Amino acid sequence: MKFLSIFAALICALGLATAVSAQQGPLRITIEEGIIQPLPFAVPDFQAETGEAGQLAGDLARVIAADLQGTGVFREIPNSAYIAQYDDFNAPVSFPDWKAINAQALVTGAVSVSGNNVNVKFRVYDVVSGTNLGEGLQFSGTTDGWRRMAHKVADEVYSRITGEGGYFDSRVVYVSETGPKDDRKKRLAIMDYDGANVSYLTDSNAIVLAPRFSPSGDRVLYTSYESGFPRIYVLDIGSVQQRVLESAEGTMSFAPRFSPSGNTVVFSISQGGNTDIYSMDIGSGQSVRLTNTPAIETAPSYNPDGSQIVFESDRSGTPQLYIMSASGGEARRISFGEGRYGTPVWSPRGDLVAFTKQHAGRFHIGVMRTDGSEERLLTASFLDEGPTWSPNGRVIMFTRETQGEGGASSLYSVDITGRVLRQVNTPEGGSDPSWSPLQQ
Amino acid sequence: MSRARKTGNIVSGVGHFVLIGWILFGGVFTSRPDPVEVQEVAMISGEEFQAMVDASRQPVEVAETPTPAAPEVTEDAPEVDAAPEEPAAAPIPEVAEPAEEPVEEVAPEVSQAAPELPQPPAEVTVEDAPVEETPVERPAEVVAPEPAPRPEPETVQEPTPQEAVVPEETGETVEQPQEAAETPEATDRIVTEAAQPPASAPNASMRPPARRPSAPRPTQTTQAPATPSQEESTVDDAAVQAALEAALSSAATDVPTGPPMSSGEKDALRLAVQNCWNVDPGARWAQTTVTIAMSMTQDGKVVSSSLRMIASEGGDASTANAAFGAARRAILLCQKEGYPLPQEKYGQWKEIEMTFNPERMRIR
């Protein structure tokens, strides 16, 4: 009896202590639901610190705002809504004025021009907490490169808010197309990611296909019919010099892609009605056969560390996606959905594979995990194909062709949520885009 | 049959025989009729009965002497009774009517146009309602003096904060102008609304103090039981007492906490925050879970300088920082005039830890 009373007292004391301690600790709440909407931001025209910088101050702000808004992650608040006019880079920010118009991020900057040199400095603020997001930065360059400087500022802003790298200071090489469908002229072109600053790398005397950037962004691989049948060329962007990659006589080589190191090229060779995948050391010209089946195997793409290759094969009867070691060997099928899968590209993040899918008379751009799970189709149209990843693995650019005799090809981009689909403005038709890494 | 069983049967048989005999002859079931009181009835004639009735009416005549005093008392009595009833009934409706009117009418009118408000309802109610007048009078006083005296403290603050921002662009300096700029605009409304509740009802009730353990108890318990196991009991009681003291002392030192937070109260906070938690499902930080600690003021607002990330899971430092930024924006954006938290339980939400887990928001 005595023992029972003591035991009961101890239990009571323990319960009381537990209750009290529960009250003393912090209140713990778990948030698992949220909202999905663009983050409102403001980029007032930069302060012109010199007289010559007046025009540039506004242009820089507009390009930065367009970059951020184009992601779909941000929403620009127009200048007309501003309460406080920004005119001094070093003046303290009146956060209440920006809060009043619901801005959550603010980018301020100043630009000065001296001769041909431009100096741009900027700061990023979290308006809600009233704090700086990182330190202020400044870039210097020439007046001709002002757009690049704007892209760099936008990349930094994007990175500070989202925690991941941007993709604005990047370029895209693609096949520019002109003329009717039955006599279409194709040539390699290169542009900023947003379609600005287009220039041409080849003429339209020979058909060119599938350009691919090197990891360093200074070279481009592409397939050309210059010799009468498809062969792979390497083009140096700086000098616009090209050379053909060695291949055996009577073979057709195509669908090239650089390894992450930039020293190896993986591509397809069609010989005697059979197509297999090979890799070649660019320095020595030595080739290694990676697949050896009677099926058509093509469109190889390395993973970010270069240890694996995803490719397309019809060994199961229909084109499907497979993954194998970069040195060849047994392949593992990863696509099992209905339809035909092709042109796989490994994401720079390494977690996803983008692909083209044809099913029920429609073409789609989609993504799936590298084990084939969580397949999601991001687009649907008469003809979508040839995906390429942005440097940060957030956006996919691809070719969309319209139906009919007058159908034209153009470039589109879609983010991996599938929510933000945009056409990329090019002066002419475009196809086969390849996104460069961020420029140094 | 064994001998033992045989003996047992014999003993059982004798026992039953004795029991039955005692029941039969011992008078256990003897019927004892209930005692009945019998009264003798005598037959009387009608004449005898009439004589008895007449004899019983004779004492009534003796009581006639005090009767004249009775009517005097009854005349005064109705006056006394009527007096308390009428005053009680009359003031109640008068008080009740004006008390309700000012509360409803004054507030909206003041918020729209300050000078017009004070005229009708406030003055009427003040006269009629002696006790409950306070909520009515205050708006009238606030409005009557006109804007000139009212803005004294706040108009002074307006210019100051904007200049005070100059030294730093940090969050602390920024918040001052924010408050100063907003309060004057809201002053006309907030002042009148704020004046009502404190006069009419308390905002929160005091929490009853926790019971403290009485000091002499240990000595009593150790001395009282002088049992063979006295040493053991002394040790046990000391342990029990120590546990009780530890539990109760912590309770006594705590801030008023009120009863435990209900799930509804927690959900209200959760809903308020998640309405501002903007998740980018395609971002890498959408794979990062962060836990943020913060301190709260008693009016439900976050002490912004106390916001800090205390844990993250599922990403690197950059994604954790981005996730923290999004969570911080959510917490600060949605607090507005303060989160809907029960003030009487302030001790329980004075410190809050919020975990933001975007797993369900992630694209799949």
Which residues, 6 or more positions from B116, have their beta carbon under 8 angstroms from its beta carbon?
Answer: B109
Report the predicted TM-score, pTM, of the whole model to 2 decimal places: 0.67
Which of the four pLDDT bands, split at 50, 70 and 90, describes residue B6?
A: confident
> How far apart are alpha carbons B119 and B129 in whole angstroms?
17
Which residues, 6 or more positions from B203, have their beta carbon under 8 angstroms from its beta carbon?
Answer: B197, B343
What 3-state DSSP class applies to A112? strand
pLDDT above 80: residue B55: no
pLDDT at A368: 97
Pick A33's closest partner by Cβ from B165, B181, B360.
B360
pLDDT above 60: residue A214: yes
Average confidence (pLDDT) over A332-350: 96
CB contact (8 A) between residue A6 and residue B330: no
pLDDT at B225: 34
pLDDT above 60: residue B74: no
Pick A26's closest partner by Cβ from B181, B328, B351.
B351
pLDDT at B239: 54
* Among A94, A155, A81, residue whose Cα is nearest residue A125: A94
pLDDT at B185: 35
* Among A434, A387, A382, A438, residue whose Cα is nearest residue A415: A387
Which of the four pLDDT bands, split at 50, 70 and 90, describes residue A19?
A: very low
Residue type, A314: D
Pick A164's closest partner by Cβ from B243, B277, B283.
B283
Residue type, A380: A
Residue type, A409: S
Weakest-pLDDT range from A107-116, A142-151, B173-182, B335-344: B173-182
CB contact (8 A) between residue B237 and residue A2: no
State ipTM.
0.86
**In chain A, % of residues over pLDDT 90:** 81
pLDDT at A8: 54
Eight-state DSSP code of residue A242: E
Q: Which residues of B touch A158 (CB under 8 A)?
A: none
Write out pLDDT tens, residues A167-205.
999 999 999 999 887 888 999 999 999 999 999 999 988
Average confidence (pLDDT) over A87-93: 91
> How far apart are alpha carbons A322 and A346 in whole angstroms?
12
pLDDT above 90: residue B170: no
CB contact (8 A) between residue B273 and residue A22: no
B164 reaches A (C-beta below 8 A): no
Query: Among all residues of chain B, which has the CA nearest to that of A74?
Result: B280
pLDDT at B106: 29
> How far apart are alpha carbons A375 and A356 in whole angstroms?
12
pLDDT above 70: residue A371: yes
pLDDT above 50: residue B133: no
Q: Which residue has the higher pLDDT, A13 or A357?
A: A357
Nearest chain A Cα distance for residue B239, angstroms: 8
pLDDT at B20: 84
What 3-state DSSP class applies to B267? helix
pLDDT at B336: 85
pLDDT at B301: 93
Write out pLDDT tens, residues B255-293.
667 888 899 999 999 999 999 999 999 999 999 999 999
Query: Which one of A1, A14, A32 would you mutate to disrupt binding with B, by most B Cβ within 10 Å of its Cβ?
Result: A32
Contact by Cβ (8 Å): B134, B200: yes
pLDDT at B66: 41
Q: Which residue has the higher pLDDT, A283 or A405?
A: A283
* Among A227, A56, A253, residue whose Cα is nearest residue A153: A56
Average confidence (pLDDT) over B326-341: 92
> How far apart are alpha carbons A299 and B163 in whole angstroms?
63
pLDDT above 80: residue B56: no
pLDDT at B100: 32
- Please name every residue paired with A421 in a beta bridge, in sequence order, or none if there are none: A414
Average confidence (pLDDT) over A243-259: 85
> How far apart are alpha carbons A189 and A195 in whole angstroms?
11
* Among A160, A139, A161, residue whose Cα is nearest residue A150: A139
Chain A from 199 to 258: CB within 8 A of any B CB? none
pLDDT at A184: 87
Write out pLDDT tens, residues B213-249.
443 343 333 333 333 344 444 445 555 555 555 444 4
What does pLDDT average to over chain A? 91
Q: Convert A146-186 into a string of H (helix), E (strand) and C (coil).
A: HHHHHHHHHHHHHHHHHCCCCCCCCEEEEEEEECCHHHCEE
pLDDT at A229: 83
Average confidence (pLDDT) over A200-211: 91
Weakest-pLDDT range from A59-73, A147-161, B48-62: B48-62
Chain A from 87 to 116: CB within 8 A of any B CB? 92-96, 99, 104
Eight-state DSSP code of residue B212: P
Average confidence (pLDDT) over A287-314: 95
Weakest-pLDDT range from A130-139, B80-89, B155-164, B330-339: B80-89
Average confidence (pLDDT) over B139-153: 41
> How far apart are alpha carbons A72 and A332 in whole angstroms?
35
pLDDT above 90: residue B21: no
Return the number of other C-beta atoms located less than 10 Å from residue A286's C-beta: 11
Q: Where do we find the tokens 């951020």?
A: A68
Alpha helices in B26-90 (DSSP H): 46-57, 69-89
CB contact (8 A) between residue B282 and residue A394: yes
Contact by Cβ (8 Å): A245, A234: yes
Sheet of strand A332-333, all strands in order from the earlier edge strand to the far edge: A297-302, A308-313, A320-325, A332-333
Q: Which residue has the higher pLDDT, B110 or A213?
A: A213
pLDDT at B171: 35
Helix (H) or strand (E) segment spanning residue B266: helix B263-274
CB contact (8 A) between residue A96 and residue B357: no
Eight-state DSSP code of residue B278: B
Weakest-pLDDT range from A52-56, A321-325, B14-18: B14-18
Classify burial at A90, counting beta carbons within 10 Å of its beta carbon; exposed 0-12, middle 13-18, buried 19 or more: exposed
pLDDT at A404: 82
Q: Which residue has the higher pLDDT, A221 or A283?
A: A221
pLDDT above 70: residue A348: yes
pLDDT at B43: 66
Chain A from 357 to 396: CB within 8 A of any B CB? 374, 376, 394
